Amino acid sequence: MSTSATVVVYGATGHTGRFVVAELRRRGIATVVSGRSAAPLEELAAEHGGEEAVRPAAVDDPGSLDRALAGAAAVVNCAGPFAVTAGPVVEAALRAGIPYLDVAAEIEANAAMFDDHAEAARAAGVPVVPAMAFYGGLGDLLVTAAMGEWPAADEAQVAYGLSGWRPTPGTRTAGQVSHRRRAGRRLRYTGGVLRHHDEQLAEQDWDFPPPTGRRRVVADFTMADVVTVPSHLDIPEVRTHMSVEAARDLADEATPGPEPVDALGRSDQTFLVDVLVRAGGAERRATARGRDIYAVTAPLVAEAVERVLSGRTRTTGVASAGEMFDAVDFLRALAPHVTVDLG
């Protein structure tokens, strides 16, 4: 295993964090496992033969974060709720002068990353990539690829065709934090602005590509793409939709968490992300298929880490996946984890 570029994974013992550590190791990238509690970190390191360095750190203790990131080449934040962790961890990364990536799906946390840390990240001259995950990152890459040479579009829609959604405890906690921050209101990106609204969710049909075909979705089930896509693309209307099965699973507090069904720890959940971009009378489409929305975040963020460490980036400062990387090339590199059709 290479030790020339050590990456700190903060929140390494969480459900997604474990997938990320395993994927980085598979790619030969040495990791430091970090998070709040020492004992679970030690157990995780022992599972991997004791090769990982263990550096406990708390987000309310800047000194401990500085020690955790000392000598590292980058940090990946997998610890939610990101409304609590993202600010302190990115600030520690900027003090250390190293790239920061996270897997946040929280809309407000991602918006705050762009609003609150863009100037400092630009001054530090390092990449900061929020939402480098299934939600926010994958959709942004697909929209960017579909746009191609278009300088602007009228609208982008992202339809999530999940077979179901067994949320982790972290997902539920993050959702509760967001709900409180919005005072129960919903969000919509329209007219070039992220707005709160009180309208009830409604269902509609969405024609997914064959063989999936027409499925019922919850319209304007707003996800992190409404932050990542318009952060760099001139699209005044960005809408996201969710399969009714997944939306109902998430709303039901009795829905259990994901259960592993293979040697990699993945669940049997499948997904189809379908992107439709319109400009004038023209339409372009891009789709991605795969398995397990949590597990697939690992190759997404690990691919981003490799590109950041090797200098295959397009900018510095805070930028979404579609702005930071060559979207088409990045999407192709996700095989066999994700099957992509760019139309």
> Is 222 in the same domain as 212?
yes
Question: Do 197 and 249 belong to one domain?
Answer: yes
CATH of the domain at 224: 3.30.360.10
Quick one: pLDDT at residue 4?
62
Note whether residue 217 is domain-resident: yes
Query: pTM of the prediction?
Result: 0.96
Under DSSP, the state recorded for 105 is -
Examine the fold and report which residue of 277, 293, 309 is the final residue of a domain before the chain moves on.
293
Residue 261 covered by a domain: yes
Question: In this structure, is residue 343 part of a structural domain?
Answer: no
Q: Quick one: pLDDT at residue 218?
A: 98
Residues 270 and 238 in one domain: yes
**pLDDT the model gives residue 35:** 97
Residues 310 and 235 in one domain: no
Give the 3-state secondary structure of residue 157. Answer: strand
CA distance 246 to 244: 5
Same domain as 24, residue 14: yes
In a domain, 6, yes or no: yes
- Contacts by 289-293 with C-beta closer than 8 Å and gap 24+? 289/338, 289/339, 290/337, 290/338, 290/339, 291/266, 291/267, 292/258, 292/266, 292/267, 292/268, 293/134, 293/135, 293/162, 293/165, 293/269
Q: Check whether residue 190 and residue 115 sit in a common domain.
A: no
User: 334 in a domain, yes or no?
Assistant: no
Both tokens of 166, joined, read 């067994």
User: Same structural domain for residues 102 and 180?
Assistant: no
Task: Establish if 335 belongs to a structural domain.
Answer: no
CATH number, domain with residue 21: 3.40.50.720
- Report the distance separating Cα 301 and Cα 134, nearest Å: 9
Residues 164 and 215 in one domain: yes
pLDDT the model gives residue 38 = 96
Q: Is residue 76 a contact partner of residue 9, using CB atoms and an 8 Å limit?
A: yes
Domain for residue 145, yes or no? yes
Asked whether residue 190 falls in the same domain as residue 129, the answer is: no
How many domains does the chain fold into? 2
Model confidence pLDDT, tens digit, residues 88-118: 999 999 999 999 999 999 999 999 999 999 9
Q: Are residues 235 and 304 in the same domain?
A: no
Which domain does 17 fall in, by range? 2-133+297-328
Instruction: Report, as ranges of residue numbers, the positions in the chain whose pLDDT lies below 70.
Output: 1-4
Q: Is residue 336 part of a domain?
A: no
Same-domain status, 211 and 93: no
Last residue within a domain, chosen from 250, 275, 293: 293
Task: Identify whether residues 143 and 95 lie together within a single domain.
Answer: no
